[in-house]
Structure 1
């Protein structure tokens, strides 16, 4: 289980320090291609900016998260790394931050740059809406059309997560439950249907 930004939303914050403008954008990314496309998009959107610094972290199934950062011409370690440190501290994954800097004519020094990029990302993070992504077990169960509506209401009333409904000879529901919860789900179904219905496991999936 982990948290990540909501999908398809770009979060923005602008910070001005000694006449330099720091425009920070945060968006969900799920892989290297997403992250690179986000960075390229902002370089295209702000081609006249001096720097387009970036940092991102994304989840990898069965492995440690991937982390990358870029100073994009700022002195080494003064932009990308501080940005990445702030993202790490947020606890969010599948997240990318790009800070576009317009130089204001006053040099900030290494320490000033570190604080500027850190503060800009921190301020933008306060605007981010996040969702929780959890791995759940999936099960399918089928009911006759005449009974489906009643059983669906019973399941929803008991807080069962119905992920999908399909209609054929019977009505088939895909149900999500916490890892290790399939036995409890079948106990519930047995009690509701006098043991006439059993859910079949169909693996696991990530659910928001």
Structure 2
């Protein structure tokens, strides 16, 4: 898995199902940071304060990454909700994702095995229909060049998914571009070729 580009949720996504008379509502959302994940979980809990359980799990980072994860059974028997949900997320092929499974108890006990299957299945169902977009880790590159090269450089930008962050006009033109980290090497080469070496390339800065 390329840690610089990977699928993430495109937005809030919700699915529902009834399992032996219990109603399960699964809500998934983008979670680029742990703070975002916790804020989303709090929002869903606030939306369903009368639910029997609001179990949750999140994975911040590339798909399958365990560096920043969290989970909670929220009152279900230990290990029957949060852990199976997290396992489903880690195998779901999506990164930067948080999910809450809200349960309204319908009167039929599912047993530990039944709960594990239910919570696993809820997350899998949500992921199967989850609209995704691509997270692209971007960096910034400062560039100084002659006025004669401006038009040529601007024509290059779409090919390298580069955008102009700032520009300064003096004896030469100074730009700061933002582009995917995977495109930096090729973009540097293209700039050097276009300007026949008449370009000053700064250090690559991390986004933000």
Q: TM (normalized to structure 2)?
A: 0.82
**Alpha-carbon contact 1:4-1:28 (below 8 Å) kept:** no
Q: Does 1:90 align with 2:69?
A: no
Unaligned 5+ residue runs, structure 2? none
- The equivalent residue for 1:176 is 179
Structure 1 Cα separation of the partners of residues 178 and 35 of structure 2:
32
RMSD: 2.7
**Alpha-carbon contact 2:144-2:175 (below 8 Å) kept:** yes
SS in 1 for 2:130: coil
**Alpha-carbon contact 2:60-2:95 (below 8 Å) kept:** yes
**Alpha-carbon contact 1:137-1:180 (below 8 Å) kept:** no
Question: CA, structure 1 residues 53+143, in 2 after alignment: closer, same or farther (shift >3 Å)?
Answer: same
Question: CA, structure 1 residues 11+180, in 2 after alignment: closer, same or farther (shift >3 Å)?
Answer: closer
- The number of aligned residues is 200
SS in 2 for 1:198: strand
- The equivalent residue for 1:156 is 157
| Pairwise CA distance, 1:201 | 1.9
**Alpha-carbon contact 1:4-1:95 (below 8 Å) kept:** no
| Pairwise CA distance, 1:194 | 2.1
Q: Does 1:5 align with 2:12?
A: no
Structure 1 moving runs of 4+ over 6 Å: none
- The equivalent residue for 1:167 is 167
